Structure 1
Amino acid sequence: TFNYLFDEKGLIKTINHSIFFTMVSIVTSLSNFLQNNFNKFGFNIEMLFWPINIFNIVVFILAIIYRYLNNHKDKISGFFRKLIFWNKRDG
């Protein structure tokens, strides 16, 4: 069942492509909405939303990396296998 999560037709791909980006966009629009409304009242809380914006950027980059890894699974796994087991070949 655990392998199914990382399968091509599995759950994470579905979450990654639909719910994931929807949640990111909802969080972004919510933060923008709150920023605009609080600025009308004269609160300077833009620093409060820096973590949210940084989180969105990081999530987006991670999603791109995940999709790249998913598309090039065989090459990447071979590369990491060499990286991890390179010293075990000697002895």
Structure 2
Amino acid sequence: MSISIKPITGSQVRIIIKPQPAETKTASGLFIPDTAKEKPQQGEVVAVGNDLKDEIATVKVGDKVLYGKYSGTELKWEGEDYLIMREADILAVIG
């Protein structure tokens, strides 16, 4: 997936993530109402800002990542939800 926005790199490399949809059902099959759904904490990297002189991005487009519950800034672009955050806010790359 590619999007037509690119994060601007300030003092740290910035990343744009497409959050994974929130769970709608528990493992036992119960449906979770919208008011009780938790914010997703994983998603896919869809854009990476430019590398800095002293810092090279360690994630790349397509990586599945885990991030903190309240990390990043939510944005809506062309009807889709995204998060933009510093690479330092990413906790781990999955798989």
Settle same-fold status: TM greater than 0.5. no
> Larger RCO: Structure 1 or Structure 2 (Cα < 8 Å, ≥ 6 residues apart)?
2
- Compute the TM-score of the two structures, normalised by the length of structure 2: 0.21
- Compute the TM-score of the two structures, normalised by the length of structure 1: 0.21
Structure with a larger share of its residues in strand = 2
Q: Radius of gyration: which is bigger? A: 1
Structure with a larger share of its residues in helix = 1
